[in-house]
Structure 1
Amino acid sequence: MRSFFRTLLASFLSSLIAFVIGGIVVVFIFIGSLSALFGSFGADVEAKAQKVKKNSLLHMKLNKMISERTHTTFSQTSFQLEDRLGIDAIRAGLAAAKEDDNIKGIYLDVSGVVGAGMAGHEEIREALIDFKKSNKFIVAYSELYFQSNYYLTSVADELYIYPEGGLDFRGLGTELMFFKPMLDKWDIDMQIIRGSNNKFKSAVEPFMLDRMSESNRAQMEKLLSSMWDQMKGGIENERGISADELEKIADSVLVRTAQDAIDYKLVDGAKYKDEMIELLKVKMGVESTKDLNVVQFAKYAKDKNRKNRKKGNKKGNIAIVYATGAISSGEGDLESIGSEGVSKALRAARLNDSVKAVVFRVNSPGGSALASDVIWRELKLLEETDKPVVVSMGDYAASGGYYISCAADKIYAQPNTLTGSIGVFGVIPNIEGMLTNHIGITTDRVETNEYAMLNITKPLEAEEIRMIQQGVDEVYDLFKKRVADGRDDLDVAGVDSIGQGRVWSGTDAIEIGLVDELGGIQDAIDYAAEESGIEAEDICLVEYPMIEE
């Protein structure tokens, strides 16, 4: 949500600069949020595989940003190329380690913030749980546990904490920032037009209100409650601490220090790093630190993922088409969705005779209505073939993210996926007051026709508002129709009743018919294989858009 605010404000300032320099103004209608993301450069930089000796320990350190796909990107903070570990490589690495006789166990090191969303945490967590079926150990350690990385590491056989560290377990919350009072001081009027009944389409509320609307507060409370229940349930399953006890711990803030965490059985003990090394030596059956064969998980996982890609590019029979980021027209990249780029990827999967089924991996908060419809059309063409089409939702598949998903044969979401947000809005700033009253700039114009110029230096006239409102409502009507056509148990009226811009968790989305099953990308792959008659041992994945190695 904060990313949306930053990006929308940046978009507004960009429009202002463009006006001042050259008088260029572009107005967009959105069905979701924008995201200004840097381009990506394909395959990861590291190419050398590690040699894995017998009796090796996999050091899984998760303290950086995690993407959907492993690649190299340009860091906007360091201004350098940065390797980005993806969920794809994490899954590939853990699956390989499960079967690798040389790997004896995992040291899960989360001393820092794990850079993934809640559904991303769920994907990694599920892969770790699957790894445990091998009867190999997982030992987790952190100097400081936050709720998100604690939830992830709660799957470990043993959890340890730094003696002077702490564990933050106080429940979930969110705080929104509202810009309306500031904009009023600057004499900026954010002219906002939502679908006529889209009271839950809250992304624009910071520009029109000074606090949450009751509708937004209600949906946020339900979302947080659903995610909190999922977190408590997951910890209960792995640690044996009841959800009621976890609620009590959070309500009374009973756990703050390392000793508190031990007393309430959230962790198994407190150890300094040197003591952790001694513990790992015992588990690995070695006496000397130099005899510890430590394998860096990131390199191990990237190597396995790279091999999977090469194999899939040659003889893949199930396609995974990735759509990650905000939706706009154009090609896009690995961190943004371009209608042309994703359409080409879906088309390639449709026309590839070796591909028998398609998993469409969507992780998007939304974006352009037009670009979303372009992608929807290509997915619809794919769905009309005899190839099963299965959507796997990531952290988000909301607004435009749901639009591009709804034509699939089956939809999977994580319990903590944010989805729905079926609604539309348009934003047109009016900065005439700021220019005149604060800067001393006035404007004048000549037009051949009454409505030839629609820009940010004058307020909208009544007829202009009427025309834009009509356009927004028409997009909303089309959105509802697309969803109703794709979902067997929903008609247009039913879509409207759960639409109006409302966001749902994956858990709640099942109850209202927007999602079919709870599960991660592996569940979607397994279902696609089953529907296309591919045995588990014969699954070979080919990814689109392809990444050149």
Structure 2
Amino acid sequence: MVSLFSREVVRVPDGAALVLAPVGVLVEQLSGDPVDRSLAELQGGQIRETLLPDVVRALDAAADDDRIPMLILDLRDFDGAGLSKLQDVAAAIGRFREAGKPVVAMGDAYTQAQYYLAAQADKVYMHPFGSVLLEGFGYYRAFFRSALDKLRIDVNVFRVGEYKSFVEPFLRDDMSDADKEASARWLNALWSAYRFDIAARRSLEAGDIDTYSAAYADRTEAAGGDLARVAVESGLVDELLTRGEFTRRMIDEVGSSDYDLSEYRSIDYRDYLKAVDAEPDVSSATGNVGVLVASGDIVDGEAPPGTIGGDTLAAMIRSVAADESIDALVLRVDSPGGSMMASEVVYQELRTLQESGLPLVVSMGSVAASGGYYISMPADRIFAAKTTITGSIGVGALVPTFQRGLESLGVHVDGIGTTPLSGQFSPEQGLGEDARRILQASVEDAYRVFIGRVSESRGMAPERVDNLARGRVWVGSDALDLELVDEIGGLQQAIDAAADLAGLEPGEFGVVPIEPELSLRERLAMSLVTRMQSLFGRLSLSQLSVLSPAVERLLGNLGKELEWLGKLNDPRGLYALCFCDLR
């Protein structure tokens, strides 16, 4: 039994390059049940997610590790992240670079998100058949009004706030002027930050990035269709190398692998973390700051990691309050919101924790909007990145009814009830007039509650809150000016602030991740999976996709538009939700 829970021993080769090769999207918290994730990985169905904290922790540890002389960025399998997450990784790469260690990036080609990280390197290499595609940021939605009309489905919408746009896809076939106006502000702010960061690292002007995108077609034609040449001539790539040429270049830098002379000496960042975690802890912490992650859509009841279940998160907050070893709590919020009821459950639990005297600091990730902002309000201090998407203070309700579709099929609903309200909320008959009045009044009351919560927590007059609310989205730098957040900073700054509030001395406290405790069954299952992977290797049971990347992207985007419908489980049908993802 003891051997089942023992860790796999990983050795760090002396002089090995650290390889950062993120897979999928960067996330604050891996989604799904941990046992299901392990089993899926064993069967070849790799979960395309990479933990942001793991990446940052590996880079920071390697910066001070004499065994690691350089960093290689392999971004081929990286699918992207919110801009603030990219900036967090870029900052960690910068700390590695400041330790006097070189950083190189190699890619077959670079998407916009991949290139942001690649640009942090001292040298950017690319395959001669590659390209650097910088499209700019976009905010595009699928609209279903005509489709719903053809299906004869009525989606009854109730909202407060002309900028509360998550309901628009069911009301229109295009984006409203109000949504375009509000979205243009935060989109341009994010693109400005992206351009500035890239230009600073590549010794370019921010306008050069705009020119590259705007003139991409002209430059491609002038280069005879050679996209790699365009990237080099534009100053985005330093040199074109095939994979073999890059490998030989790295062998010259760090030597050959002990196991394969045709490969360079390296260690993947995941293996490096295993080795670092297995080393003795020599810290002398006199107190602890807990870090609790709230990531994903907010739903009522229980939910697995990657989704915020109101009851699940509330229970974890109570466990923190009962843990005498935790001196302060940082809540890391990365959520567009969701259920109003679940948001209120979490809010009240955080208020109770804060009133108990335990310092509470919120660190906002890429998105902390609508319900994500709602659960941030009880904090003593709120930190956001300049590029955090936040605000979206507003409430809406969606109630689909199917009476027209049923009638077209020859299905008719009739009967009697005992009160005037009987049948008024029936999806088969359509909403009655009293039902509509009740729902609209309920939404307006929920909005007043939201405004009141902001007014109380931020010390603002309700009228001022209403002026900057009504569903409008802000970036972190604007939110600071509007006093919706307290400071610009990342997770580490929030942790330091929480420690200061708790009276802990800098450098003399520990950081404790607050995670659900695994049951004996889960620990056994995960340990067995790890052992099977080690003994037999990964089973190749998954099949190659027969879909083109373009079709996969289309299906993925449409799937995201509809996936959230399955999470609409608020008991009153009220939602504080922001559709503010980028494409």
Say yes or no: does 1:350 pair with 2:289: no
1:153 aligns with one of 101, 115, 118: 118
Deviation at 1:47, TM superposition (A): 5.1
Kindly report which structure 2 residues correspond to 1:113-152, keeping only aligned pairs within 5 A, or say none.
Answer: 113-152=78-117
Tell me which of 16, 24, 27 is aligned to 1:56: 16
Provide the C-alpha distance between the structure 1 equivalents of 2:483 and 2:145, rounded to a whole number of angstroms: 36
Structure 1 CA distance, aligned partners of 2:382 and 2:339?
22
Q: Counterparts of 1:192 and 1:306 in 2: how far apart (Å)?
A: 54
Counting matched residue pairs gives 499
Displacement of 1:291: 7.6
- Partner of 1:90, secondary structure, is helix
Tell me the equivalent position of 1:494: 464
For 1:81-131, what per-residue CA distance to the aligned partner results, in whole angstroms no more than 9, with x for missing partners? 645531121122112111221111111001144343333222222222222
Distance 1:110 1:460, change over 3 A: same
| Alpha-carbon contact 1:89-1:305 (below 8 Å) kept | no
| Structure 2 match to 1:5 | none
Equivalence for 1:401: 372
Letter in 2 for 1:373: E
> 1-side partners of 2:131 and 2:487: how far apart?
36
Specify the SS of the correspondent of 1:331.
Answer: coil
Shift in alpha-carbon separation, 1:478–1:180, aligned structure 2, 3 A:
same
The aligned counterpart of 1:468 is: 439
Once the two structures are superposed, what CA deviation does each residue of 1:23-60 show, in whole Å capped at 9, x if it has no partner? xxxxxxxxxxxxxxxxxxxxxx9952421021011111
Q: 2:200 aligns with which of 237, 255, 259?
A: 237
Matches of 1:142 and 1:425, distance apart in 2: 44
Contact 2:11 2:275 in 1 (8 A): no
2:490 is the alignment partner of 1:525:
no
Q: How far apart are the structure 1 equivalents of 2:219 and 2:21?
A: 25
- Identity %, equivalent residues: 31
Contact 1:107 / 1:140 at 8 angstroms: preserved in 2? yes
Q: Amino acid of the residue matched to residue 63 of structure 1?
A: V
- Distance of aligned partners of 1:496 and 1:389 in 2 relative to their CA distance in 1, 3 Å threshold: same
Separation in structure 2 between the aligned mates of residue 151 and residue 218 of structure 1, nearest angstrom: 27
Q: 2:28 aligns with which of 68, 81, 89?
A: 68
TM-superposed CA distance for 1:318, in Å, is 0.2
Give the deviation of 1:305 after TM superposition.
6.1
Distance 1:97 1:516 in 2: 32
Asked if the contact 1:169–1:255 (Cα under 8 Å) also holds between the matched residues in 2, the reply is: no
Give the 3 Å change call, closer, same or farther, for CA 160–46 of structure 1 in structure 2: farther
Whole-Å separation in 1 of the counterparts to 2:438 and 2:212: 54
C-alpha separation between the residues in 1 aligned to 2:53 and 2:27? 9
Q: Which amino acid counterpart does residue 190 of structure 1 have in structure 2? A: V
Q: Which segments of structure 1 move beyond 4 Å, counting only runs of 4 or more?
A: 73-84, 285-288, 302-308
Instruction: Give 1:285 deviation, angstroms.
Output: 5.4
Distance of aligned partners of 1:528 and 1:472 in 2 relative to their CA distance in 1, 3 Å threshold? same
How far apart are 1:342 and its partner, in Å?
A: 1.1
Say whether 1:215 aligns with 2:186: no
Q: 1:87 aligns with which of 22, 38, 52?
A: 52
Inter-partner Cα distance in structure 1 for 2:6 and 2:205? 43
1:172 Cα deviation from its structure 2 partner: 2.0
How many Å apart are 1:65 and its aligned residue?
3.3
Post-superposition Cα deviations, 1:297-348, rounded to whole Å, max 9, x if no partner, equal 123235546889x999x98600001111111222322111112221122222
Contact 1:324 1:364 in 2 (8 A): yes
Could you tell me how far apart the structure 2 residues matched to 1:473 and 1:311 are?
Answer: 55
- Matches of 2:10 and 2:389 in 1, distance apart? 37
Instruction: Identify the match of residue 448 of structure 1 among 397, 412, 418.
Output: 418
Contact 2:287 2:504 in 1 (8 A): no
1:545 aligned partner: 515
Report 1:15-414 matches (<5 A): 48-69=8-29, 72=34, 74=36, 82=46, 84-195=49-160, 198-253=161-216, 257-284=227-254, 289=261, 292-301=264-273, 304=276, 317-414=288-385
The 3-state SS of whatever aligns with 1:537 is coil
RMSD between superposed Cα atoms in Å:
2.7
**1:230-255 residue CA offsets vs partner (Å, 9 max, x unmatched):** 10111122222111222222222266
Q: How far apart, in 2, do the equivalents of 1:520 and 1:135 lie?
A: 24
Name which of structure 1's ranges 497-506 and 81-90 shifts more when overlaid on structure 2.
Answer: 81-90
8 Å Cα contact 1:359-1:525 kept in structure 2: yes
User: Alignment partner for residue 485 of structure 1, among 456, 465, 476?
Assistant: 456
| TM-score normalised by the chain length of structure 1 | 0.85
Q: Would you say the 8 A contact 1:395–1:417 is kept in 2? A: yes
Distance 2:278 2:347 in 1: 30
Structure-2 separation of matches of 1:85 and 1:130: 20
CA contact (8 A) 1:49 1:300 kept: no
Contact 1:89 1:304 in 2 (8 A): no
Report how far residue 387 of structure 1 moved: 3.1
Would the alpha carbon gap of residues 211 and 302 (structure 1) be closer, same or farther in structure 2, given more than 3 Å must change? farther
Q: Equivalents in 2 of 1:74, 1:220: separation in Å? A: 37
State the one-letter code of the partner of 2:426. Answer: N
Note closer, same or farther for the CA distance 1:371–1:212 as it changes in structure 2 (3 Å cut). same
Contact 2:403 2:427 in 1 (8 A): yes
SS in 2 for 1:211: coil
CA shift in 2, pair 1:155/1:55, >3 Å: same
Q: Contact 1:122–1:414 at 8 Å: present in 2 too?
A: no
1:336 partner letter: T
Partner of 2:578: none
**Aligned equivalents of 2:200 and 2:512: distance in 1?**
34
CA distance in 2, matches of 1:228, 1:317: 38
Greater displacement, 475-484 / 256-265? 256-265
The letter for the 1-side match of 2:268 is: Q
Match of 1:511 in 2: 481
What is the match of residue 579 of structure 2?
none
Q: Distance in 1 between matches of 2:209 and 2:175?
A: 29
| Secondary structure in 2 matching 1:416 | coil
- What are the ranges of 5 or more consecutive residues in structure 2 without an aligned counterpart? 221-226, 524-583
Q: 1:405 to 1:269 in 2, by over 3 A?
A: same
